[in-house]
A = this chain, B = another copy of it.
Amino acid sequence: MHTSSIFLETLHHRRQRLAELIDFPAILWSGGSSSRNFPANVFPFRPSSHFLYFGGIPLQNAAIRLESGKLQLFIDDPNPSSTLWHGETPTREEIAANIGADDARPIAELEDYLENAATIPVQDAATSTEQSLLLHRWLLPQQPPQGIDLELAKAIVSLRLTHDAAALVELRKAVAVSVEAHKAGMVVTSTAKLEAEVRAAMEAVIIGYNMTTAYASIVTVHGEFLHNNHYYHSLEPGDLLLADVGAETETGWAADITRTWPVSGKFSSTQRDIYDIVLAAHDACFEKIAPGVEYGEIHLIAATVITEGLVDLGILQGKPEDLVKMDLHALFFPHGIGHLLGLDVHDMEDLGDLAGYEEGRKRSDRFGLSYLRLNRPLRAGMLVTIEPGFYQVPGILNDPKIRDQYEYLINWERLEQFADVRGIRIEDDVLVTESGSEVLTAALPNQANNIEDLLKLPK
């Protein structure tokens, strides 16, 4: 349990800042657990991130009411049978002291404090139904907030967009454990036979630190399928293994790291050619990161460097700047260069694009830009991922329309020589600082040579 004065000061400061932005009360529910195959067999409980931001600790079936910088906690005392089965659990008063609450009441009393209150729907249906019933309006997790709920959401976005010192302490912890997990994955590769075994070595590091994965791990020799959550493929010597795995601390702060490495321990020359292009794009991006820079520009830098690289290799034909305008890069790099990172791996994505997109901006219709999750000028204290990639997605490259449309811009025969490069991604977590940026994930090598060195370490 956190009781440090820094922790309490941080929570106090966050709610003071919220009070400067809204003049109505906010009630944030933590949510409850979701059942798996029968009611008592539940998924690991994860509180709402907005609750965690202001409440600080993972409480289940609780709510906090924030008004004028004051915090009221609503939670029931543990009942005797809960003590019997779950062990000694802190009382309401103890929890209230731990998070610096000004007042603490049973959850049933929340109904006396609802007037004019804004909220944000949580993900679990039982709680979002409860929210709807109490506040007399539909609060659905997939629905954009409206009215005072929208005002609250915007206020929270403006706070959570940049991270305070206490958040950065947690984020660095998540990064450190994720770095160790990736190293463990690399080291086990020489003896592993299945993707699942590499995943196991990586997640074991995370579990061993009493953390959880922040999202469903991707550990695959088929990195060309971007959301591939299967782990049954065998590892063959010519394969590249793409691992996108990140830890989340006990209070909910996430890391998000991707590395791609050769199963054999050595990149082939074609794999290294493409790897170095992706790395060049990555490096060009984070050299550019600084307050005031548009994140969309960073995306286009990556697109341009990748396109230039593919032109140099003879895979694309034409002038790189023209090719980028035609979204040629997006055939091989169909996703955005990254996203916000914080309490959620795609931070505040429960609010749609409210956090990711500057007010008044909308997603582009262009294939190469529509998947961009972040489109704002950068500010000091923002944490973003930089994750360029190269993928040969069969659904894209085997599409007759695309092959026809780009018949003369892609040298298809040359591309075939790179058949052993199905998917590469390099993803780091980068903090925007006053003077530029800091790569929080710098302890994990991303150069091909250094990765090959790690792969040689004995298990």
Whether A46 contacts B37 in the complex (CB less than 8 A), given A87-B222, A204-B201, A395-B84, comes out as yes
Q: Determine whether the beta carbon of B228 is less than 8 Å from that of A334.
A: no
Cβ–Cβ < 8 Å partners of A225 in chain B: 84-88
Q: Determine whether the beta carbon of A208 is less than 8 Å from that of B194.
A: yes
Q: A258 at interface (Cβ–Cβ under 8 A)?
A: no
Q: Determine whether the beta carbon of A196 is less than 8 Å from that of B216.
A: no
Q: Determine whether the beta carbon of A345 is less than 8 Å from that of B207.
A: no
Q: A88–B34 Cα gap in the complex (Å)?
A: 29
A230's nearest neighbour on chain B, judged by CB, is: B87
Q: A289 at interface (Cβ–Cβ under 8 A)?
A: no
Whether A35 contacts B141 in the complex (CB less than 8 A), given A44-B216, A88-B394, comes out as yes
Q: A244 at interface (Cβ–Cβ under 8 A)?
A: no
Q: Determine whether the beta carbon of B396 is less than 8 Å from that of A41.
A: no
Binds B, one of A105-113, A121-129, A409-417: A121-129
Q: A274 at interface (Cβ–Cβ under 8 A)?
A: no
Q: Determine whether the beta carbon of B210 is less than 8 Å from that of A204.
A: no
Cβ-neighbour of A205 out of B141, B200, B206, B393 (below 8 A): B200
Q: A360 at interface (Cβ–Cβ under 8 A)?
A: no
Q: Determine whether the beta carbon of B334 is less than 8 Å from that of A84.
A: yes
Whether A38 contacts B344 in the complex (CB less than 8 A), given A203-B203, A208-B194, A208-B196, comes out as yes
Q: A142 at interface (Cβ–Cβ under 8 A)?
A: yes
Q: A252–B208 Cα gap in the complex (Å)?
A: 25
Q: Determine whether the beta carbon of B37 is less than 8 Å from that of A350.
A: yes
Cβ–Cβ < 8 Å partners of A345 in chain B: 41
Smallest CB–CB gap between A330 and chain B, Å?
12
Cβ–Cβ < 8 Å partners of A222 in chain B: 87
Q: Determine whether the beta carbon of A36 is less than 8 Å from that of B42.
A: no
Q: A299 at interface (Cβ–Cβ under 8 A)?
A: no
Q: A210–B231 Cα gap in the complex (Å)?
A: 6
Which of A41, A83, A344 gathers the greatest number of chain B CB atoms within 10 Å?
A41
Q: A197–B393 Cα gap in the complex (Å)?
A: 38
Q: A80–B367 Cα gap in the complex (Å)?
A: 14
Q: Which 8 A-B pairs have the closest CB atoms?
A: A125-B125, A87-B225, A200-B208, A204-B204, A200-B207, A38-B350, A196-B210, A35-B123
Known: A38-B344, A41-B344. 7 other contacts (CB 8 A): A34-B123, A41-B216, A42-B216, A197-B208, A200-B205, A200-B207, A207-B231
Q: Give chain A's interface residues, CB within 8 Å of chain B.
A: 34-44, 46, 48-49, 80, 83-88, 123-126, 141-142, 194, 196-197, 199-201, 203-210, 215-216, 222, 224-232, 252, 334, 343-346, 348-350, 393-396
